[in-house]
Every structure is written in structure tokens, then in C-alpha cells.
């Protein structure tokens, strides 16, 4: 793990960074702190890429849309859900959306 401010840079995405050294009002902020934070931000951006939310409002919404489940009657329209999976608990069918239609992947 990288300690933000130690000057060792960021360990992300291979490991999470830490921030265990507390800066106090009587201390100067460690010079390496800003550089390490900058490196961590760049690593996060490189890991997520540009526009990680895509057509969704947030990254969380996109991740939630990639795998959903419930009864077959509650399955959303496949239109606009590219590369998403839906598992119908009542029919035991796992389906994949190509953005146009749901295609069966595995039957229960």
C-alpha cells in the first residue's frame, strides 16, 4: 500500500493507498503529499477510463445495470442496455443484452 504523502506515489489500482499519517495544524504538509494525491487521481482516471458512467447517470447506476435479476415479467427493455445481464429467478434463464434484444446465455 502507498502512504499518501510519503513520496512513494500511489499504489492504485494494484493496491489501495493509505493516509494514516495525520497532518496537524502545527505541522507543515509534507511536500510529497500533493504529488502522491495527483498520482492517485491519475491512476483512478486511467483505471476508469473516460466517461465511465456511459449512458447512465453514475458509475454505480451502470454497474447495477450490468447485472440485474428478478422475475421475467420485471425484466427491463434491452434497448439501451448494452452488455448487461439479467437473471430471471422464476424461469432460471440468464440473458445478455446486446442493446437491441435479450439473448439467452444459460438455461437453469
pLDDT tens across 65-99, in order?
777 888 999 888 888 777 788 899 999 999 998 88
The alpha helices in 14-107, defined as continuous H runs, are 32-48, 59-66
Residue 12 confidence (pLDDT): 81
CA angle 19, 64, 66 (to 5 degrees): 115
In eight-state DSSP terms, residue 73 is G
Where does the pLDDT of residue 105 fall: very low under 50, low under 70, confident under 90, or very high at 90 and above? very high
Domains of the chain and CATH, by start: 1-50 (no CATH), 59-107 (2.10.10)
Amino acid at each position: 500500500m502507498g502512504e499518501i504523502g510519503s513520496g512513494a506515489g500511489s499504489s492504485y489500482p494494484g493496491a489501495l493507498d493509505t493516509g494514516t499519517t495525520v497532518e496537524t495544524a502545527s505541522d507543515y504538509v509534507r511536500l510529497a503529499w500533493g504529488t502522491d494525491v495527483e498520482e492517485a487521481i491519475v491512476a483512478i482516471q486511467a483505471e476508469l477510463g473516460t466517461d465511465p458512467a456511459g449512458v447512465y447517470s453514475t458509475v454505480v447506476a451502470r454497474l447495477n445495470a450490468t447485472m440485474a435479476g428478478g422475475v421475467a415479467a420485471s425484466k427491463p427493455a434491452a434497448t439501451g442496455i448494452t452488455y448487461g445481464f439479467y437473471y430471471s429467478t422464476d424461469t432460471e434463464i440468464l440473458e445478455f443484452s446486446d442493446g437491441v434484444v435479450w439473448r439467452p446465455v444459460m438455461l437453469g
